[in-house]
Amino acid sequence: MSGDSPCTPSIDQVEDVMRFELARGDALLASAQPVLSHLLTSGDQVQFGDEIIARIRGMANHAARQLLDAVAEADDTLDRDALLARHAEALAEAILGDGGFLSHAHALALEIHWADKLHHRCGLDAVLTPFLQELAASPDGEIASAAMHVMAAQARFVQQQRRMELALGELPGDLFHRLLLAMRGCDELPEPAGEQAEAHLRSTFDEAKGRAGHMARLLLALGHKADRALAIDHAGLALFASALALASGLSREHAIYALGENQLARLALALRAAGLPQSALEAQFLLLHPEITLPPGFDGLSAERAAALLTLAQD
């Protein structure tokens, strides 16, 4: 997606380039889960970042410990350490065998990787961003409260990622359900403690109280002003990813994936689909990929066509 041309391509030619790049990006995403599975089980971490692999495995181990802790708490006669020693490793491997968990954990690991990269590149704090500080001081009580909740949730996320952890309450609802099924599938798990633990975890789970839910509520409360979150250096990476997903129709995971070097077409199309003019779009690329030049003629691609290309790529 770089280089110059002596003449400006037609919109059809630009769309052909975007389709090709999306197809290439989709192929790379499709190969990510098998590669992650291989590296996590074989220990061969050379071709994939050690830090990313370690974070994913750490999140799976932490999820397994939380599930088994709930079983131990359901029956105080159980030996927690013995329960963990017997089941934690197998449960963590079962969790890592879930493609949805791998994708979700991979996106979170990439998110903190990019947040750290932007902090080193331009001093952008992962929690106290200019936009969130502004919103927290808003005279609108709903917006101020929502911004404070987002900052608190983001601070917890950063701390958990530093420890390579993932709280069960932060999972998407469908993934939370599948992890409970993985726990249910543990051989010789003490009963009825296992059933009681699952019932308690289900009764206390509220997806809306997770970090993604807080960010979605803030963006909805902002209404037409939510597009101000589409500036990474102002809103921060976390809120930017949620705003991009909301405005472009991508999932939040795919909005994070779009930041990668092999997903540049997806990022460009998502930003255009979200309504960013060319100058603002180029400003985001300058922060994330300063060496990249958008293809000639891309500025003629409408938001509607960009959204259509993204939709076709996801079908």
Query: Looking at the predicted structure, is the pLDDT value of residue 170 above 50?
Result: yes
- Residues 71-88 have pLDDT tens digits of 999 999 999 999 999 999
Give me the percent of the chain exceeding a pLDDT of 90.
75
Which range, 19-28, 46-55, 214-223, 259-268, is most confident? 214-223
Q: What is the predicted pLDDT for the residue at 37?
A: 67
CB 307 within 8 A of CB 273: yes
Omega before residue 139 within 30° of 0, cis: no
- Percent of residues in the chain assigned helix, strand, coil, to nearest 5: 75, 0, 25
pLDDT band at 47, cuts 50/70/90?
Answer: very low
Here the tokens at position 263 are 């997903």
Q: What is the predicted pLDDT for the residue at 2?
A: 53
Q: What is the predicted pLDDT for the residue at 132?
A: 97
- The Cα–Cα gap between 176 and 202 comes to 9
Q: What is the predicted pLDDT for the residue at 91?
A: 97
Query: Looking at the predicted structure, is the pLDDT value of residue 221 above 60?
Result: yes
Q: What is the predicted pLDDT for the residue at 38?
A: 58
Q: What is the predicted pLDDT for the residue at 1?
A: 61
- The Cα–Cα gap between 67 and 65 comes to 5
Tokens 């930003």, located at residue: 271
- Residues 108-139 have pLDDT tens digits of 999 999 999 999 989 999 999 999 999 999 99
Query: Looking at the predicted structure, is the pLDDT value of residue 45 above 70?
Result: no
Q: What is the predicted pLDDT for the residue at 155?
A: 98
Q: Is the pTM of this model over 0.75?
A: yes
Q: What is the predicted pLDDT for the residue at 260?
A: 87
The H-assigned helical ranges of 97-192 are 99-122, 130-136, 141-162, 173-184
- Residues 234-252 have pLDDT tens digits of 999 999 999 999 999 999 9
The H-assigned helical ranges of 163-299 are 173-184, 193-204, 211-222, 232-235, 237-248, 252-257, 264-273, 278-288
Q: What is the predicted pLDDT for the residue at 42?
A: 46
